[in-house]
Amino acid sequence: MARIKPFKGVRPTPERAKLVAAPPYDVMNSEEAREMAKGNPYSFLHVDKPEIDLPTDIHLYDEKVYAKGRENFYKMIDEGTFIQDDSDCYYVYKLVMGNVKETGLVAGFHIEDYENDIIKKHELTRADKEADRIKHVETINANTGPIFLTYPAREDIDAIIDEIVKNVPLYDFTADDGIQHTFWKVEKDDLINTLTAKFAEVKYLYIADGHHRCASGVAVGKKKRAANPNHSGNEEYNYVMGVIFPHNQLYIMDYNRIVADLNGLTTDEFLNKVSEKFIIEKFSSDEPYKPESTHTYGMYIAGTWYKMSAKQGTFCKEDPVKSLDVAIIQDNLLEPILGIQDPRKDKRIDFVGGIRGLKELSMRVDKGEAVAISMYATSVEELMAIADAGKIMPPKSTWFEPKLRSGLINHLLD
């Protein structure tokens, strides 16, 4: 059962919350981060991507980068941009993007639950990225980016959260991208105890997004545990900060594919090969084809959109991974026809999150790329089924929106 705890959050003052809040560190490159933080000394990018305050030729993993992140973080505390709550609290974080409304509980979750698979994973982590975040967390001595977690929705927990959000929030602002962020503090002991007890009845939590941040937070906690001869198990470093959302509120968008060339084939040869595994029909519309159900795809090539459907026998329905749309397109088209064996490393393929819209696919093919494939979005239920089976999703399977903002809450490890 899931063990969660409240903590003394380090957070911005209300008047600076909007200025501090920043997109996650891994959704932009350094150049984009520099531009985004320009003229805003309060942006959390100065902590999460501190290379923006150093020469442009510095290596991302240089010791000076991590030291700068620590310097910036504690400077924001010393100058009063950040304050720390006096008592252990939970927090509630609500995001609104159009008709999408997600409300989650901010809490610390136990690193042993991660190790014992109470916290379930569905992605592999890259050693270099994990090492980077370990160094970041160690140097700053804090969890600075919340892990995005989910759990099978429960009406009793929903009812408690619904009552909390009737109160006056700490923060309520709309970011430049139009997404509304609202934040509450939960400090009453009886309410804290009730939430802790309710989540102790939740069998599993699932990482929706943030596998590298999660693995690094756990790794730092284990290192601190090993280095402490008086370790008791109650220290803050035993917990990693996350935001836990009910599964039925999450919104996953399509994660589309673009390939630079046809692997030596002509357009007709390519379409003939594709037709062996997919039913193909021209889509007679000026708009891109957006798949309407699982195992259907859109394909844009040579100025034309097609609708594709996977033929019977091209995948194993009983396998939760092989029956994913992203796996079907990889196993039946990208690898055997276009020669893309490892989509994580092959530079001929690119991935476009659905937030950019399908016209991005048409535009890029019209400008010279060979073919684009629009996908039906992976569901939360598919993600949870794969995690329950102890399996790994193919790369670039999910694109979650809206994104949690970093900087609104931080968790010190001591």
Reported as a single tens digit per residue, the pLDDT across 81-128 is 999 999 999 999 999 999 999 999 999 999 999 999 999 999 888 888
What would the pLDDT profile of 201-255 be if each residue is shown by its tens digit?
Answer: 999 999 999 999 999 999 999 999 999 999 998 899 999 999 999 999 999 999 9
* pLDDT 10s digits, 293-322: 999 999 999 999 999 999 999 999 999 999
163-169 — which CB contacts under 8 Å span 24+ positions?
A: 164/92, 164/191, 165/92, 165/94, 165/103
Q: What is the pTM of this model?
A: 0.91
Contact, 336 vs 257, CB < 8 A?
no
CB-based contact 145:242 (threshold 8 Å): no
51, 330, 371 from 270: Cα distances, Å: 44, 15, 10
N residues, the chain:
414
